[in-house]
Amino acid sequence: QRVHRIAVIPGDGIGTEVMPEGLRVLQAAAERFGIGLAFDHFDFACWPYYERHGQMLPDDWRERIGGHDAIFFGAVGWPAKIPDHVSLWGSLLQFRRAFDQYVNLRPARLMPGVRSPLVRRDGTPRAPGEIDMLIVRENTEGEYSSIGGRMFEGTERELVVQETVMTRHGVDRVLRYAFELARSRPRKHLTSATKSNGIAITMPYWDERVRAMAAAYPDVQVDQYHIDILTAHFVQRPEAFDVVVASNLFGDILSDLAPACTGTIGIAPSANLNPERRYPSLFEPVHGSAPDIAGRGIANPIGQIWSGALMLDFLGYRQAHDAIVRAIEVVLDPANGGPRTPDLGGHARTADVGRAVADALRHGA
Ligand code: NAD
Ligand code: IPM
Ligand code: MN
């Protein structure tokens, strides 16, 4: 049996609370489907490590996790102790770049028993599955660039610049991934988000590459929007979207907005993919370390658990992925009276939800 080596990095805050539940469910899936998983735990990429070492990662971090089959990540950031740009550029954003994880795939789906805060114009609520989109976020360039700087510091002429970088290679590869994904879905619909009226060099370039790529995918229906009005459409008719592709920053914003439209960001998963598998891909919830609720054992672990399902899918275990998602649906379905964390209106604790999903998975949901 092939054994997949998984690097486990819980990180900060609720990352350390949801990670054990993600692992619990992966373990249950491994047993049920006979998948070989070996977990290596790492204590870097968090504030306690920084406090001891003065940096977020050991110097040899690439050697230590670069040979793994995947990275299972919690969340990083503890702004009370360390500025976010230091902790994030010192860890997660390094992983995404060094391992060329240029696709950040973020599904958002209305699950059974989770109410969308959005009500249709006619007053009726939306049914499970009615909102079902896949956000494809460019994950290695764009607005998240390290080209720029600060000049004349402390003077009246103080100036800061940070350039947006789009390469043909970088834009085309993420668009190709998004078009292929759209082609594989029943609706075959792709939406691209830019801001080409105001940001008049990079954004029109992205649009141009979308049009060029679309020519190779005549079966995919393409819509292009400016990001500002697209956020309004997400709120007014979220069911209209299928695959949504966007630059690094716009994809980041849309991928908090979309799960909020489906009830809570606590359940949203993500896959930072190197589709060519030259490097390990990284799987993590969309949410952060949530300092406001950290340490209380009430974080929703479903985002972490679902991210584990995406990891198994990427490793080739589609059935195990589907079974985990079904187990999540069973636990969320009010008909089953399962535990719910406070973000879903319940009183359950993180571990109650993790155990319930693992049980539902074992009992063949
Ligand atoms: P956040 O996602 O941590 O929290 C936003 C809000 O959502 C908070 O009210 C929080 O309590 C709630 N929330 C988030 N996850 C939840 C869960 N699983 N269950 C229940 N409620 C949940 O975003 P933030 O407050 O902007 O950021 C906090 C820290 O996390 C910062 O340091 C930020 O940089 C970092 N961050 C890290 C990642 C990551 O590691 N990928 C992602 C986003 C933010
Ligand atoms: C995310 C996060 C990160 C991002 C932050 C923490 C740097 O918001 O994964 O969505 O912007 O990519
Ligand atoms: Mn984000």
Quick one: which H or E segment has residue 136?
strand 132-138
**What whole-number distance in Å separates Cα of residue 319 and Cα of residue 313?**
8
Distance from residue 231's CA to the centre of ligand 1 (Å): 20
Ligand 2 atom nearest to CA at 76? 6
Residue 190 has pLDDT above 60, yes or no: yes
ipTM over 0.95: yes
Ligand 2 shell residues, CB under 6 Å: 77, 88, 93, 252, 286, 288
Span 201-223, pLDDT tens digits: 999 999 999 999 999 999 999 99
Nearest CA to ligand 1 atom 5: 290
Per residue in 35-70, pLDDT (tens digit) is 999 999 999 999 999 999 999 999 999 999 999 999
What would the CATH number be for the domain defined by 132-261?
A: 3.40.718.10
Nearest-atom number in ligand 2 for the CA of 284 is: 9
Between the CA of 96 and the centroid of ligand 1 the distance, in Å, is: 18
Tens of pLDDT, residue by residue over 229-262, are 999 999 999 999 999 999 999 999 999 999 999 9
**Mean local confidence (pLDDT), 185-206:** 98
Show me where the domains of the chain are located: 1-102+266-365, 132-261
User: pTM for the complete prediction?
Assistant: 0.98
Question: Which ligand 1 atom lies nearest to the CA of residue 92?
Answer: 40
Measured distance CA(332)–CA(115) in Å, rounded: 11
User: What is the number of the ligand closest to the CA of 263?
Assistant: 1
Mutate to test the pocket of ligand 2, among 56, 92, 265, 272 (most ligand atoms within 8 A of CB): 92
Lowest-confidence region among 118-122, 234-238, 246-250, 358-362:
118-122
- Dist. CA 365 → ligand 3 center (Å): 31
pLDDT band at 120 (very low <50, low <70, confident <90, very high): confident
Q: Which of 105, 289, 352 to mutate to test the pocket of ligand 1 (most atoms within 8 A of CB)?
A: 289
Q: Look over the chain and give the mean of its residue pLDDT values, rounded to a whole number.
A: 97
pLDDT, average across residues 322-339: 96
Confidence of residue 119 (pLDDT cuts 50, 70, 90): confident
* pLDDT confidence of residue 1: 78
Burial 59-88, CB ≥16 within 10 A → b, else e: eebeeebeebbbbbbbbbbbeeebeeeebb
pLDDT for 365 beyond 70? no
d(CA 323, CA 132): 18
Residue 249 CA: nearest ligand 2 atom is 11
CB of 79 closer than 6 A to ligand 1?
yes
- How far apart (Å, rounded) are the C-alpha atoms in residues 142 and 163? 8
Which ligand does the CA of 84 lie closest to? 1
Nearest one of 127, 107, 21, 46 to 289, comparing CA atoms = 46
Ligand 2 midpoint to CA 288 (Å): 8
Ligand 2 nearest-atom number relative to CA 256: 10
CATH of span 1-102+266-365 = 3.40.718.10
Which parts of the chain fold into alpha helices (H)?
A: 15-33, 47-53, 61-65, 84-89, 92-98, 168-183, 202-214, 227-236, 248-261, 302-314, 318-332, 350-362
